[in-house]
């Protein structure tokens, strides 16, 4: 009898934590997000730099498994600016126990301040993976890792710019929150 009681409590607890059929549709609709991130940027012939930053996104879940979004962020490393912007697509796996894993791919621009009045910038491919935990039906905590690989193709100096070809990569670790303000209430 005691064993059956424990099993019933465990199953009830799991049922409360598991998403219902309406909760499984969390990822659709308009999404806004804000996050803190850590960035590490490496480039040929340039020093590797790391630092903290902030990250914002605006997206739209076109279905329960696909989202299109725009991301932008900036940070500081050794008192110099690091910046990025990305247009990407995100594909979600099934929501299990309020957790929605995802993978994303995008076209991104990155830049970094080298010294006063000098800024290297370029474009490349961004790949990422992460997960959202829905603590409320339309609010979530997000954790992700992204890697950008590309080339710095321009070196801006004051009012002019010089073409360059410097291989570069950035890894970002992000922790933040998403809000779906206009999501249809099931």
pLDDT at 12: 38
**What is the Rg, in whole angstroms, of the alpha carbon atoms belonging to the chain?**
20
The stretches in the chain having pLDDT less than 70 are: 1-26, 183-186
Which residue(s) pair with 57 in the sheet? 33, 71
For 14, half-sphere exposure in the C-beta direction (CA atoms, 13 angstrom radius) is: 7
What is the three-class DSSP state of 173?
Answer: strand
pTM of the model: 0.80
Q: Which CATH number fits domain 2-179: 2.40.160.20, 2.60.120.260, 3.10.20.30, 3.40.50.300?
A: 2.40.160.20
pLDDT tens-digit readout, 52-72: 999 999 999 888 889 999 999
pLDDT at 4: 55
pLDDT at 8: 45
Indicate the domain borders of the chain: 2-179
């Amino acid at each position: 009898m005691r064993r059956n009681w424990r099993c019933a409590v465990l199953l009830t607890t799991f049922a409360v934590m598991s998403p219902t059929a309406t909760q499984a549709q969390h990822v659709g609709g308009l999404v806004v997000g804000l996050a803190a991130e850590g960035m590490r940027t490496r480039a040929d012939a340039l020093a590797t730099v790391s630092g903290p930053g902030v990250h914002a996104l605006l997206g739209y879940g076109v279905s329960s498994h696909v989202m299109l979004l725009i991301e932008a962020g900036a940070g500081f490393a050794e008192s110099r600016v690091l910046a990025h912007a990305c247009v990407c697509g995100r594909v979600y796996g099934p929501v299990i126990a309020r957790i929605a894993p995802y993978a994303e791919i995008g076209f991104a621009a990155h830049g970094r301040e080298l010294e006063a009045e000098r800024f290297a910038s370029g474009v490349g491919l961004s790949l990422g993976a992460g997960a959202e935990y829905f603590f409320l039906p339309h609010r979530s905590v997000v954790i992700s890792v992204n890697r950008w690989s590309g080339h710095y193709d321009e070196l801006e100096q004051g009012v002019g710019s010089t073409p360059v070809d410097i291989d570069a990569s950035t890894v970002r670790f992000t922790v933040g929150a998403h809000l779906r303000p206009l999501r249809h209430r099931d």
